[in-house]
Amino acid sequence: MIKPHGSETLNSLLITDSDQLQQLHSEAESLPSIILNSAAAANAVMMGAGYFNPLTGYMNLADSLSVAENLHTEDGLFWPVPVVNLVKDAPGIEGASRIALRDPNTEGNPVMAIMDVSAIETVSDAQIKIMAEHIFATLDPEHPGVATFTGLGNYLLSGDIQVLSLSYFQADFPDTFRTAGEIRDEIAQRGWHKVVAFQTRNPMHRAHEELCHMAMERLGADGIVVHMLLGKLKQGDIPASVRDDCIRKMVELYFPANSVMVTGYGFDMLYAGPREAVLHAVFRQNMGCTHLIVGRDHAGVGDYYGAFDAQTIFAEKVPAGALEIEIFNADHTAFSKKLGRVVMMNEAEDHTKDDFILLSGTKVRQMLGDGIAPPPEFSRPEVAKILMDYYQLENA
């Protein structure tokens, strides 16, 4: 199986030994504590679940700036996005060597990690802007990722962590949420060797479904891991539970048995386009996939990124040998009325836009809200029914 990024074996920071877990929970009660923001909590979940291997904790300022500007930590580890714990203030923890980190997304704010504090550093507004501009390629405050990152605070807490909880994800998504190690184990159990990952924060329509079939066929893959984001999205995006139902119905009806794993991970969407595509590659390698589908405007939002920037970054910015996972570059896929099937648009000769069935997200949402199913060439009717039920309930 493909090796994890940066190490021979997967380094999960989640404490699973019951005696040690009980001891750490008892210790946490006597420690100074802070309530994390959602971004820092998501980073803790990803470290605990092994997706951010080989990181052992939150980055300090020097590493954060180095990663933002140069795509590697100061000691040379390739990494695409700073993994930080930024706070607006740090009352009660000055001088503490060990603190408890509390979950902002679970009632009662239980302890989710214990941190060995290496440093509490003040980050200037100029340094925040430097990092944001490198991560998101813009400083536009309307960009959701920029708005979130620049509003996290100016105090940077760095140090190793021990993760006691993966927040609400295991309880809320017991059939879908999986750690990187659990996915590796299932890949091995299924006897898969060449494995494709498909990232999604949306329900999968016909174009996505066929793209997965294309990638599997062209690569000669044993299986595909549909890996959906279960954390926070922007307002208006479809909830994870609805997306989960849609994807499972599609897989049940339109994929061969033992060819798809439907899984999810606990992270907040960054909307960082190219940088986030590289981050996606890192944690898909960590969970054992050999290939990642990177499509048009992967992890993008609005018009901030070029259609294929998330593909060209791998050739232009990722050093040779930095990652073992390979990228399957894909164009926009759509149903061709001429050919009677879904195709990659750049591979369809003698086609104009009128030869494809293309619907905007706004148009699709309006149709679903009105109880009108999109054409079957665009969305499987069984999937459309789940989405219509959701939108009609929302609009009731």
Q: Residues for the chain: how many in total?
A: 396
pTM: 0.94
Residue in 370, 376, 334 with CA at minimum distance from that of residue 355: 334
Read off the pLDDT of residues 308-330 as tens digits, 9 standing for 90 and up.
Answer: 999 999 999 999 999 999 999 99
Asked if residue 110 has a cis previous peptide bond (ω within 30° of 0), the answer is no
- Per-residue pLDDT at 22 exceeds 70: yes
Q: Mean of the pLDDT values across residues 224-230?
A: 95
Per-residue model confidence (pLDDT) at position 396: 67
Residue 220 CB neighbours (<10 A): 8
Give, for 169, the enclosing helix (H) or strand (E): helix 169-172
- The residues, ordered by sequence, that sit 6+ positions from 1 with a Cβ below 8 Å of its Cβ are 184, 187, 188, 193, 288
Does the active-site annotation cover 53?
no
Per-residue model confidence (pLDDT) at position 90: 86
Residue 368's pLDDT band (cuts 50, 70, 90): confident
Residue in 28, 24, 167, 157 with CA at minimum distance from that of residue 91: 157
- For each of the domains in the chain, give its residue range(s) and CATH number, in order of start: 18-170 (3.10.400.10), 176-395 (3.40.50.620)
| 34: region left, alpha or beta (phi > 0 left; psi from -120 to 50 alpha) | beta
Could you give the CA distance from residue 192 to residue 189 in angstroms, rounded to a whole number? 8
Strands 111-116 and 98-102: antiparallel
Does the active-site annotation cover 201?
yes
Read off the pLDDT of residues 278-311 as tens digits, 9 standing for 90 and up.
Answer: 999 999 999 999 999 999 889 999 999 999 999 9
Could you give the CA distance from residue 380 to residue 385 in angstroms, rounded to a whole number? 9
Residue in 145, 147, 91, 149 with CA at minimum distance from that of residue 120: 91
Q: How far is CA 362 from CA 81, 87, 304, 345, 359, in A?
A: 31, 36, 19, 21, 8
Percent helix / strand / coil, the chain, rounded to 5: 35, 20, 45
pLDDT: is 199 or 395 the higher one? Answer: 199
- The residues, ordered by sequence, that sit 6+ positions from 51 with a Cβ below 8 Å of its Cβ are 179, 180, 265, 267, 282, 283, 286, 287
Which one is catalytic: 98, 202, 248, 329?
202
Could you give the CA distance from residue 339 to residue 326 in angstroms, rounded to a whole number? 30
Give, for 383, the enclosing helix (H) or strand (E): helix 381-395
- Per-residue pLDDT at 31 exceeds 80: yes
pLDDT: is 108 or 361 the higher one? Answer: 108
Which one is catalytic: 70, 154, 190, 201?
201
- Secondary structure of residue 261 in the 3-state scheme: strand
Residue 188's pLDDT band (cuts 50, 70, 90): very high
